């Protein structure tokens, strides 16, 4: 059993947009090797929190600490990727005209031009990493297929593989199952479980059935603040959660 270790901690962060507090004085913790979901009604501040963690949005107060000693709030987004936090946005940003394999090579090496990257020699270890990703995402048979010809779900998985090739300790996912079929959702859930065996995964999600099935821990946000945090069972039994979701199904 792995000891619980704090991977990320926000300390009293506030985010303001023209005086409006999208996040207000938020304390929040993410522990290692867990599938951690972030839920809450529209406008709760979930996306803003992910934006802060990956350096896309600045805080007006507070700090966000990664692995106990790295304050993220002053770091540029590329530096945050470099220290081990990668995010997969909702819209895939893959190269449609390149093959699955070429897309994965690009994810490995980003310091060269596109053509130089694709044609450059990769090491045995990099080759092994790519193969591992192809198996994890079930894309091994589509390896030489053009990415643009993949199904919606497969494109999402390819991007997950690309994010993982950056070798993050913390993976941020924005509504990863949006637009997926039931089978694709299940595959994605199993994939996330697998990923969380040696990384931490933080997911913004609206689909409560998915959260219920795959969450180790759930944080509920409301109006820029943390409402509560716990297992899905604890969250479902919390009257405050029922109240903020008024009429929306939590169970
Ligand atoms: N760039 C911005 N400028 C002004 N207001 C913003 C900006 N980004 C977010 N907001 C506001 O901040 C609040 C929190 O938004 P955020 O997108 O983080 O919520 P959310 O919980 O992700 O909602 P949803 O589930 O609908 O995506 C909302 O009231 C939103 O309108």
Nearest CA to ligand 1 atom 3: 17
CATH of 1-84+205-251, one of 3.40.30.10, 3.40.50.300, 1.10.40.60, 3.40.50.1980: 3.40.50.300
pLDDT of 1 > 50? The answer is no
Instruction: Band the pLDDT of 119: cuts 50, 70, 90.
Output: low
- Both tokens of 228, joined, read 């509560």
pLDDT of 113 > 70? The answer is no
φ/ψ region of 185 (left if φ > 0, alpha if ψ in -120 to 50, else beta) reads: alpha
Nearest CA to ligand 1 atom 31: 43
Name which residue leads in pLDDT, 109 or 148: 148
- Please give the helix or strand (H or E) that residue 27 lies within, else none: strand 20-31
d(CA 70, CA 81): 13
User: For residue 18, which atom of ligand 1 is closest to its CA?
Assistant: 4
Strands 6-17 and 61-66: antiparallel
Sorted by where each begins, the domain ranges of the chain are: 1-84+205-251
Instruction: Encode pLDDT of 18-58 as tens digits.
Output: 999 999 999 999 999 899 999 999 999 999 999 999 999 99
Averaged pLDDT score across all residues of the chain = 91
Residue 222 Cβ inside 6 Å of ligand 1? The answer reads: no
Instruction: Encode pLDDT of 184-240 as tens digits.
Output: 999 999 999 999 999 999 999 999 999 999 999 999 999 999 999 999 999 999 999
ipTM over 0.85: yes
CB–CB of 143/150 below 8 Å? no
Residue 45 Cβ inside 6 Å of ligand 1? The answer reads: yes
């Amino acid at each position: 059993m792995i000891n619980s270790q704090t991977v990320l901690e926000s300390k009293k962060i506030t985010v303001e947009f023209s005086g409006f507090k999208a996040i207000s004085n938020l304390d929040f913790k993410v522990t290692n090797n867990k599938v951690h979901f972030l839920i809450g009604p529209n406008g709760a501040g979930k996306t803003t929190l992910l934006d802060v963690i990956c350096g896309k949005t600045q805080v007006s107060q507070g700090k966000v600490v990664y692995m106990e000693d790295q304050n993220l709030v002053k770091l540029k987004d590329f530096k945050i990727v470099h220290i081990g936090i990668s995010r997969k946005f909702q819209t895939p940003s893959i190269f449609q005209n390149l093959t699955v394999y070429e897309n994965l090579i690009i994810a490995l090496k980003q310091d060269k031009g596109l053509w130089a990257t694709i044609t450059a020699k990769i090491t045995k270890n990099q080759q092994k990493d790519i193969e591992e990703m192809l198996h994890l995402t079930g894309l091994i048979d589509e390896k030489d297929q053009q990415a643009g010809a993949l199904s919606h779900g497969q494109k999402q998985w390819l991007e997950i593989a690309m994010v993982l090739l950056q070798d993050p300790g913390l993976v941020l996912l924005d509504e990863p199952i949006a637009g997926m079929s039931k089978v694709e959702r299940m595959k994605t859930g199993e994939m996330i479980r697998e990923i969380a065996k040696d990384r931490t995964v933080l997911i913004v999600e609206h689909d409560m059935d998915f959260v219920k099935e795959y969450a180790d821990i759930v944080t509920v946000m409301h109006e820029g603040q943390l409402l509560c945090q716990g297992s899905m069972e604890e969250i479902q039994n919390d009257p405050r959660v029922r109240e903020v979701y008024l009429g929306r199904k939590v169970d």
